[in-house]
């Protein structure tokens, strides 16, 4: 059932025990939501616990350190920033059909929860912030830091296309309350691991331009992960790189999976449909970012990809 804010507030107010769930491979927004909601519920005198299928990485220790969760017996299960029950990862089997309340900002939410409070926002933490205001809890430094983490990470530090006036206004409120934005920005946006730098170097050495520089291609292999000590989870900024190059309309990254097959990520300029390109290779996605898997070896797959890209460039 889709519920409105008042009903969401009522569930939080009228129950005494909560189990908060974050999505697998937890990021700043799902964790910001979870720990902010934990603080809100604590202030309301409720018992609350937290589960996530994957480890919370050390860079979030400013949110997680010293937090005491409660023992809960028969809790209301709340999933935050979890668009699909399957994104609960290892918790899916036990909790997939037991989520009482989902608070989310993804339009792609599958409404797997008994009650879903969904708003189309840049970050789920925006929704949590507004719930905190409605519930009249103290917007203390800890709560500010949790909410800032979600707002900033889901918007690339206020830079992505999903930015809104509302996010800027909430950020202003958090700044006035002394949010540790310098520390958080440094951890989330400035620190680069040595292994990532190595991987990026190796990947960038494969950079190829095609079709008068209108397309750019990078390849990432399993061997590069081994050499750099990095892994697939650090790939994200590299995936964005080819399309960021001056004059490039279509950027693609070919990634070798650990089973030896290859997948591609395609990013395109406005006016070129990445999903259409990937559809021709058996994949799909969004207009600006899409993906597919090669059903053949690297050389043949690359040839197919370049042919589809060529056709796409000829169509504009």
Give me the residues that bind a copy of itself (CB under 8 A), please.
157-159, 161, 163-166, 168-169, 171-173, 175-176, 181-182, 185, 189-194, 197, 201, 204-205, 207, 209, 213, 241, 244-247
Question: How is residue 163 annotated by DSSP?
Answer: -
Among 52, 53, 47, 50, residue whose Cα is nearest residue 74: 47
User: From residue 229, how far is each of 134, 195, 225, 233, 297 by CA, in Å?
Assistant: 46, 5, 6, 12, 25
Q: How far is the CB of 111 from a copy of itself (least distance, A)?
A: 30
Q: Are 55 and 89 in contact (CB under 8 A)?
A: no
Strands 284-285 and 289-293: antiparallel
Radius of gyration of the chain (CA): 21
Query: String of b and e for 270-285 (b: at least 16 CB within 10 Å)?
Result: eebbbbbbbeebebeb
Place of tokens 């937290």: 50
Nearer to a copy of itself, 79 or 174 (CB): 174
Indicate the residue among 11 and 179 with the shorter CB distance to a copy of itself: 179
Between 178 and 282, name the residue whose CB sits nearer to a copy of itself: 178
Query: CB under 8 Å to 195, separation ≥6 — which residues?
Result: 228, 229, 230, 234
The least CB distance from residue 179 to a copy of itself, in Å, is 10
CB of 31 to a copy of itself, least distance (A): 20
| Residue 310 near residue 281 (C-beta atoms within 8 A) | no
Both tokens assigned to 165? 């006036």
**Cβ–Cβ under 8 Å, residues 93 and 1:** no
Question: Given the complex with a copy of itself, which of 109 and 164 has the nearer CB atom?
Answer: 164
| Distance of closest approach, residue 213 Cβ to a copy of itself, in angstroms | 7
CB of 103 to a copy of itself, least distance (A): 23
- Which residue's CB is nearer to a copy of itself, number 182 or number 233? 182
Cβ nearer to a copy of itself, comparing 205 with 300: 205
Torsion of CA 141, 142, 143, 148, to 10 degrees: 80
CB of residue 125 to a copy of itself, shortest distance in Å:
15
Shortest distance in whole angstroms from residue 109 CB to a copy of itself:
24
């Amino acid at each position: 059932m889709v519920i409105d804010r008042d009903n969401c507030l009522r569930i939080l107010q009228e129950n005494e025990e909560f189990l908060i769930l974050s999505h697998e491979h937890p990021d700043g927004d799902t964790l910001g939501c979870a720990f902010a909601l934990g603080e809100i519920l604590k202030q309301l005198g409720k018992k609350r616990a937290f589960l996530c299928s994957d480890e919370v990485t050390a860079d979030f220790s400013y949110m997680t350190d010293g937090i005491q969760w409660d023992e809960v017996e028969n809790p209301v299960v709340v999933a935050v920033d979890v668009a699909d029950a399957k994104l609960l990862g290892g918790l899916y089997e036990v909790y997939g059909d037991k989520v009482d309340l989902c608070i989310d900002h993804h339009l792609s939410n599958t409404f797997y929860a008994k009650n879903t409070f969904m708003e189309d926002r840049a970050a789920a933490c925006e929704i949590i912030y507004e719930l905190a205001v409605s519930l009249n809890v103290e917007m203390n430094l800890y709560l500010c830091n949790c909410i800032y983490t979600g707002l900033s990470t889901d918007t690339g530090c206020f830079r992505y296309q999903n930015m809104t006036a509302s996010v800027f206004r909430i950020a202003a409120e958090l700044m006035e309350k002394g949010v540790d934005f310098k520390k958080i920005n440094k951890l989330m946006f400035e620190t680069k691991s040595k292994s990532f730098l190595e991987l990026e170097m190796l990947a960038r050495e494969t950079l190829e331009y095609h079709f008068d520089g209108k397309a750019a291609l990078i390849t990432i292999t399993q061997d590069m992960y081994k050499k750099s000590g990095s892994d697939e989870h650090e790939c994200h900024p590299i995936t964005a790189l080819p399309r960021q190059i001056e004059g490039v309309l279509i950027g693609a990254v070919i990634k070798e999976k650990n089973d030896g097959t290859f997948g591609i990520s395609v990013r395109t300029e406005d006016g070129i449909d990445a999903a259409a390109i990937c559809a021709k290779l058996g994949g799909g996605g969004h207009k600006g970012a899409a993906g597919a898997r090669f059903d053949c070896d690297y050389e043949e797959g690359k040839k197919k990809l370049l042919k589809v890209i060529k056709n796409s460039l000829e169509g504009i």
